[in-house]
């Protein structure tokens, strides 16, 4: 399931990158979010400000960072601040427009688990944990999520609430006094999803080239809802693909 000349993962990264603008101040997660944010920076959104959890502001990495402690981030940043300042002044101060996260487990309302698979006290798998993601999920203006689809990852009920999305739907965030928008976009390797305005359940708004609705349902653990006007995601442009491949190639080389 890939179009000519690009993979599902490349389509996912490019589609996620397109959601960002030069006006955004973006809190970037490592992995797929970092790839998408840097493709945006190097193509249509040169003015974007990328912030990583280690305190680097305005990072412009030439290679994709291996972690938030990668020296590439500090060396290319406009400035680096302490982690307490990053969270208190920048994040909790409402200065970040978009938080870009990934997930080990995700439910239909954009709630994220990156803590544990199985029972908390007797886990099947112990995951890396939340880090700054719980604060990102509540304090950024809105949250974008990117992840590969699988029955293990997209589940009816997550095993642990690491990062709060839309809770059990509707106005769950407002009831808790959370004023930010929460998850407004989910980009997978198969489709683009957006929350229903009322229920806040993610629904498919665009299928990537060559992908069927059945393929989306087969890799999702809940009953998928599709938008009335279902679109097809525009394939990656030559520039988008070349930029992503160049980033990856430099990262692999270094």
Could you tell me the CATH number of the domain that includes residue 34? 3.40.1080.10
- Average pLDDT taken over every residue of the chain: 94
Average pLDDT score over residue span 174-202: 98
The pLDDT score that the predictor gives to residue 249 is 87
- Alpha-carbon dihedral sign for residues 139, 140, 142, 146: negative
The reply to whether 125 falls in a domain is yes
pTM above 0.85, yes or no: yes
pLDDT-based confidence at residue 63 (cuts at 50, 70, 90): confident
Average pLDDT score over residue span 222-247: 96
In percent, how much of the chain has pLDDT > 90?
86
Give the Cα separation of 23 and 151 in Å (integer): 35
Top-ranked range on mean pLDDT: pick from 55-69, 127-141, 144-158: 144-158
The reply to whether 167 falls in a domain is yes
pLDDT-based confidence at residue 193 (cuts at 50, 70, 90): very high
Domains held by the chain: number: 1
State whether residue 70 is helix, strand or coil: coil
pLDDT top residue among 117 and 30: 117
The DSSP output letter for 82 is -
The pLDDT score that the predictor gives to residue 31 is 84
Average pLDDT score over residue span 115-123: 95
The reply to whether 2 falls in a domain is no
pLDDT-based confidence at residue 89 (cuts at 50, 70, 90): very high
State whether residue 253 is helix, strand or coil: helix
The reply to whether 120 falls in a domain is yes
Contacts of 122 (CB under 8 A, 6+ apart): none
Based on the residue annotation, tell me whether 53 is a catalytic residue of this protein: yes
Q: In this structure, how many other beta carbons lie within 10 angstroms of the beta carbon of residue 206?
A: 18
The reply to whether 1 falls in a domain is no
The pLDDT score that the predictor gives to residue 5 is 87
Average pLDDT score over residue span 192-210: 98
Q: For residue 80, give its domain range.
A: 8-253
Average pLDDT score over residue span 108-114: 97
In percent, how much of the chain has pLDDT > 70?
98
Contacts of 179 (CB under 8 A, 6+ apart): none
Average pLDDT score over residue span 52-65: 91
The reply to whether 205 falls in a domain is yes
Contacts of 234 (CB under 8 A, 6+ apart): none
The pLDDT score that the predictor gives to residue 201 is 98
Task: Name residue, tokens 């803590």.
Answer: 115
- pLDDT above 80 (res 1): no
The reply to whether 195 falls in a domain is yes
pLDDT-based confidence at residue 145 (cuts at 50, 70, 90): very high
State whether residue 142 is helix, strand or coil: strand
- pLDDT above 50 (res 3): no
Q: How far is CA 72 from CA 16, 33, 154, 254, in A?
A: 23, 16, 33, 11
- pLDDT above 70 (res 36): yes
Contacts of 184 (CB under 8 A, 6+ apart): 142, 143, 144, 194, 195
The reply to whether 3 falls in a domain is no
Q: How far is CA 84 from CA 122, 139, 167, in A?
A: 33, 14, 27
- pLDDT above 50 (res 64): yes
Question: Choosing from 53, 72, 201, 240, which is the catalytic residue?
Answer: 53
- Are 173 and 166 spatial neighbours (Cβ–Cβ below 8 Å)? yes
The pLDDT score that the predictor gives to residue 50 is 96
Across the strands, what pairs with 204? 193, 226
- pLDDT above 80 (res 100): yes
Give the Cα separation of 120 and 206 in Å (integer): 35
The pLDDT score that the predictor gives to residue 254 is 58
């Amino acid at each position: 399931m890939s179009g000519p000349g690009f993979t599902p993962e490349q389509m996912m990264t490019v589609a996620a990158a397109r959601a960002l603008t030069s006006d955004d101040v973006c809190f970037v997660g490592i992995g797929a979010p970092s790839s998408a944010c840097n493709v945006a920076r190097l193509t249509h959104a040169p003015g974007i400000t990328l912030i990583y959890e280690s305190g680097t502001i305005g990072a412009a990495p030439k290679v994709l960072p291996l972690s938030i402690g990668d020296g590439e981030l500090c060396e290319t940043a406009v400035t680096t601040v302490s982690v307490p300042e990053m969270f208190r002044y920048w994040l909790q101060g409402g200065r970040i427009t978009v938080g870009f996260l990934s997930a080990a487990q995700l439910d239909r309302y954009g709630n994220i688990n990156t803590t544990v698979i199985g029972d908390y006290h007797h886990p099947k798998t112990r995951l890396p944990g939340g880090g700054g993601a719980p604060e990102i999920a509540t304090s950024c203006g809105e949250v974008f999520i990117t992840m590969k689809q699988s029955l293990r990852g997209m589940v009816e009920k997550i095993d642990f609430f690491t990062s709060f999305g839309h809770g059990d739907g509707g106005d769950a965030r407002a009831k808790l006094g959370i004023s930010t928008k929460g998850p407004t976009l989910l980009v997978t390797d198969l489709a683009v999803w957006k929350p229903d305005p009322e229920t806040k359940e993610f629904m498919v708004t665009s299928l990537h080239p060559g992908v069927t609705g059945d393929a989306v349902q087969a890799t999702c653990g809940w009953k998928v809802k599709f938008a009335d006007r279902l679109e097809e995601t525009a394939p990656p442009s030559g520039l988008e693909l070349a930029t992503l491949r160049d980033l990856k190639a430099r990262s692999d080389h270094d």
